[in-house]
């Protein structure tokens, strides 16, 4: 039943039992990404350290297995980075999915690389990163914004 | 009775040979035979349609209605013959009441603009909770443009139109038009068109039916259901994209101003003013979709040759076969239980997202639709963000339903 590795066990299990999902109350910044094609929605809350780096990310996700797993892995990977580093990572991830190239720089996200051959599903995986970028770049403190 | 067995043709098997008319059904997807269960989005085309369009371009094509040469006259005849075919298909009293549009969406927009321009603040239009965005957004736009009221008739939990509520909604006599689907693209609900028309007319309202799904499966008679407007699209009816139909009562069409201005829709033009052509040409500005219209004509000929009796029996038998089979899939929930369901079945499966279902089905060659099906308000009414949808056409087989349910069972196991 596996789809050329698209639904790897890691994806299914992350979707079933996300470790970074939770309420966003108290987050310093928030962002939202929505996919009008399917109604999926990822809301992201970011807690910042004293030095401005990302301390913790939580998400509230309504979506498919790929969307959920991607949101949860995004939350784990963004923590500890500075803002521009996290945004750059999201953009690199989008490039990986769109071109199928430059994946070497993102070993933790290679599990999503097969999406390159399922173009209608790429947005499922990038939605959380869009929400994160909205939170970090133009999301005013403690206000959610549309992705 | 002489005790000999009664031989009855199975209505599903009765159309099996027709599959050979659809070349695309021989294709494979991801190395598997194509199981195409997304015909409600757009149906596949029989070779008769494909060839009619090709033959037009190869042997008999020119612009219509204005040429003085042989090719133009022949093409005009072929184009206008389709108007007669459509009138015959839907029981229209007059060919002039048949207007060619780009699709059903454009047909509804035409009515919303032209009939809508006759409405005044204080009047209202009623739609239902289960409308496709095509029969919702044009009315919102009209409301915002003219200050009319837009009212929404609720559906029951089973997915039927709540006729008592509809009666209450039109009771104040301010409703100018009731615009509802004749068959839901999400729930498969076939609405009781004649009763809806009677309710609307008793309150002094006109009635429009979006027949995009209905005409694929059953014969409509616009006089029998006492409709005022009826719309459908060619590409769901085994015809090409880019051609749709609006039927309207002549007296309404004559009263309505044009929708778009341009060539072919005028009888005379000066810089000071233009005089409109008579119906239907008043509503057909510019060079129409000539080749597509001829393709629609071939599709109607095909439908008539197969016969609506056989098509409707096939659909009913297939739905009756599919519902219990789907119920056997662990965790699967069919959405809605309308009193009369056409060949459209939406479902969810525990917490497996419809997009995951659709992608995994696709890898096994099974094409379904997943998402909100251009009916977001209905999704909210149902408390869902999305469903998966299997829809049937005259070429659908029992084995394809089996392939669907078997793969769904596998998917359920995969996510368990």
Check CB contact of A124 with chain B, cutoff 8 Å.
Answer: yes
Indicate whether B206 and B140 sit together in one domain: yes
CA dist., res. B120 & res. B146, Å (int): 7
Asked if B361 contacts B212 with a C-beta cutoff of 8 angstroms, the reply is no
* Interchain CB distance below 8 Å, B415 and A65: yes
CATH of domain A9-137: 3.90.1010.10
Query: At residue B207, does pLDDT exceed 90?
Result: yes
What is residue A5's predicted lDDT score, i.e. its pLDDT? 78
pTM of the model: 0.91
Tell me which chain A residues have a C-beta less than 8 angstroms from the C-beta of B374: none
Check CB contact of A118 with chain B, cutoff 8 Å.
Answer: yes
What is residue B338's predicted lDDT score, i.e. its pLDDT? 97
B374 included as an active-site residue: yes
Question: CA B178, B184, B186: angle at the middle one, nearest 5?
Answer: 140
Using H for helix, E for strand and C for coil, what is the string for B31-75? CEECEECECCCCCCCCHHHHHHHHHHHHHCCCCCCCCCCHHHHHH
* Interchain CB distance below 8 Å, A63 and B353: yes
Closest A-chain CA to B369: A38
Q: Which residue has the higher pLDDT, A66 or A145?
A: A66
Give me the CATH number covering residue B91: 3.40.640.10
Phi, psi (degrees; rounded to nearest 5) at B27:
-75, 160
Query: At residue B70, does pLDDT exceed 70?
Result: yes
Query: At residue B151, does pLDDT exceed 50?
Result: yes
Indicate whether B109 and B226 sit together in one domain: yes
Per the structure block, which two tokens stand in for B72? 């133009």
Probe site for chain B from A3, A14, A112 (most B CB atoms < 10 A)? A3
Q: Which of A1, A16, A38 sits opposite B360 (nearest CB)?
A: A1
Indicate whether B25 and B65 sit together in one domain: no
Distance from A91 to chain B by nearest Cα, in Å? 24
Indicate whether B235 and B322 sit together in one domain: no
Query: Among B305, B328, B353, where does a domain finish?
Result: B305
Q: pLDDT of B244-276, one tens digit each?
A: 999 999 999 999 999 998 888 888 888 888 888
Q: Does B42 reside within a domain?
A: no
Query: At residue B11, does pLDDT exceed 80?
Result: yes
Closest B-chain CA to A16: B415
Q: How confident is the model at residue A139 (pLDDT cuts 50, 70, 90)?
A: low
Per the structure block, which two tokens stand in for B376? 């977001």
Query: Among B275, B305, B335, where does a domain finish?
Result: B305
* Interchain CB distance below 8 Å, A3 and B363: yes
Q: Which residues contact B103 (CB under 8 A, 6 or more apart)?
A: B233, B234, B235, B241, B242, B243, B244
Place of tokens 């949860």: A72
Q: pLDDT of A16-29, one tens digit each?
A: 999 999 999 999 99
Indicate whether B103 and B240 sit together in one domain: yes
Indicate whether B255 and B394 sit together in one domain: no
Distance from B328 to chain A by nearest Cα, in Å? 20
Indicate whether B291 and B356 sit together in one domain: no
Indicate whether B207 and B240 sit together in one domain: yes
CA dist., res. B101 & res. B280, Å (int): 11
Indicate whether B55 and B186 sit together in one domain: yes
**Nearest by Cα to A55 from A86, A33, A88:** A86
Indicate whether B214 and B267 sit together in one domain: yes
* Interchain CB distance below 8 Å, A64 and B355: yes
How does the average pLDDT of chain B come out, rounded?
95
Put the strands of the sheet holding B332-334 in their side by side order. Answer: B332-334, B344-349, B387-391, B369-371
* Interchain CB distance below 8 Å, A12 and B415: yes
Average pLDDT of span B10-16: 94
Where along chain A do its domains lie?
Answer: 9-137
Per the structure block, which two tokens stand in for B163? 């006729």
Q: Does B45 reside within a domain?
A: no
Q: Of B245, B265, B374, B379, which is the active-site residue? A: B374
* Interchain CB distance below 8 Å, A121 and B359: yes
Query: Among B255, B270, B305, where does a domain finish?
Result: B305
* Interchain CB distance below 8 Å, A38 and B379: no
What is residue A147's predicted lDDT score, i.e. its pLDDT? 31
Number of folded domains that form chain B: 2
Q: pLDDT of A113-136, one tens digit each?
A: 888 888 888 999 999 999 999 999
In three-state secondary structure terms, B352 is strand
Query: At residue A145, does pLDDT exceed 70?
Result: no
Average pLDDT of span A7-34: 93
* Interchain CB distance below 8 Å, B372 and A38: yes
Distance from A15 to chain B by nearest Cα, in Å? 10
Q: How confident is the model at residue B4 (pLDDT cuts 50, 70, 90)?
A: low
Average pLDDT of span B289-305: 98
Range of the domain at B272: 50-305
Q: Does B40 reside within a domain?
A: no
Q: Does B147 reside within a domain?
A: yes
Asked if A22 contacts A138 with a C-beta cutoff of 8 angstroms, the reply is no
Tell me which chain B residues have a C-beta less than 8 angstroms from the C-beta of A12: 414-415
CA dist., res. B322 & res. B316, Å (int): 10
Distance from B413 to chain A by nearest Cα, in Å? 9
Closest A-chain CA to B411: A1
Helix-helix angle B398-415:A9-16, to 10 degrees:
70
Indicate whether B247 and B234 sit together in one domain: yes
Indicate whether B84 and B220 sit together in one domain: yes
Average pLDDT of span B365-393: 91
B175-181 and B32-33 strand pairing: unpaired
């Amino acid at each position: 039943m596996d789809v050329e590795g698209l639904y790897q066990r890691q994806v299914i299990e992350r979707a079933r039992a996300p470790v970074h999902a939770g309420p966003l109350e108290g987050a310093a910044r928030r962002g939202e990404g929505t996919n009008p094609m399917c109604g999926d929605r990822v809301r992201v809350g970011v807690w910042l350290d004293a030095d401005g780096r990302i301390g913790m990310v939580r998400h509230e996700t309504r979506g498919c297995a790929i969307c959920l797993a991607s949101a949860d892995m995004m939350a784990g990977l963004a923590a500890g980075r500075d803002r521009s580093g996290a945004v750059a990572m999201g953009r690199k991830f989008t490039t990986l999915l769109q071109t199928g190239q430059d994946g070497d720089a993102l070993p933790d996200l290679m599990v999503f690389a097969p999406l390159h051959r399922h173009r209608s599903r790429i947005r499922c995986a990038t939605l959380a990163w869009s929400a994160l970028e909205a939170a970090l770049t133009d999301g005013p403190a403690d206000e959610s914004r549309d992705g | 009775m002489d005790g000999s067995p009664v031989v009855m043709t199975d209505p599903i098997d009765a159309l099996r040979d027709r599959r050979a008319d659809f070349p695309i059904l021989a294709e494979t997807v991801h190395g598997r035979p194509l199981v195409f269960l997304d015909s409600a989005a757009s149906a596949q085309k029989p070779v008769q349609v494909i060839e009619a369009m090709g033959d037009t371009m190869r042997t008999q094509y020119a612009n219509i209605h204005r040429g003085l040469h042989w090719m133009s006259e022949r093409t005009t005849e072929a184009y206008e013959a389709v108007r007669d075919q459509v009138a015959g298909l839907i029981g229209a009293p007059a060919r002039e009441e048949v207007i060619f549009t780009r699709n059903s969406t454009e047909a509804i927009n035409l009515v919303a603009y032209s009939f809508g321009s006759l409405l005044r603040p204080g009047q209202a239009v009623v739609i239902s909770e289960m409308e496709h965005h095509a029969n919702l957004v044009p009315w919102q736009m009209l409301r915002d443009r003219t200050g009319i009221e837009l009212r929404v008739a609720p559906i029951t939990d089973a997915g039927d139109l709540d006729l008592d509520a509809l009666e209450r909604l039109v009771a104040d006599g301010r409703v100018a038009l009731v615009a509802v689907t004749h068959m839901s693209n999400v729930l498969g609900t076939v609405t009781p068109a004649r009763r809806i028309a009677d309710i609307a007319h008793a309150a002094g309202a006109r009635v429009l039916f979006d027949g995009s799904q209905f005409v694929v499966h059953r014969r409509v008679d616009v006089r029998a259901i006492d409709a005022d407007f009826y719309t459908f699209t060619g590409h769901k009816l085994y015809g090409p994209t880019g051609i749709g139909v609006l039927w309207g009562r002549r007296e309404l069409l004559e009263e309505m101003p044009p929708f778009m201005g341009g060539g072919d829709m005028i009888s005379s033009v000066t810089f000071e003013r233009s005089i409109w052509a008579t119906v239907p040409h008043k509503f057909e500005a510019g060079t129409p979709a000539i080749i597509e219209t001829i393709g629609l004509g071939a599709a109607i000929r095909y439908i008539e040759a197969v016969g609506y009796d056989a098509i409707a029996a096939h659909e009913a038998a297939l739905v009756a076969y599919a519902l219990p089979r789907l119920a056997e899939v662990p965790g699967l929930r069919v959405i809605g239980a309308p009193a009369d369901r056409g060949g459209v079945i939406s479902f969810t499966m525990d917490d497996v997202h419809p997009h995951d279902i659709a992608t995994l089905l696709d890898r096994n060659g099974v094409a379904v639709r997943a998402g909100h099906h251009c009916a977001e308000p209905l999704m909210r009414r149902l408390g869902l963000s999305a469903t998966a949808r299997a829809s049937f056409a005259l070429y659908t087989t029992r084995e394809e339903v089996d392939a669907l349910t078997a793969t769904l069972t596998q998917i359920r196991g995969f996510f368990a």
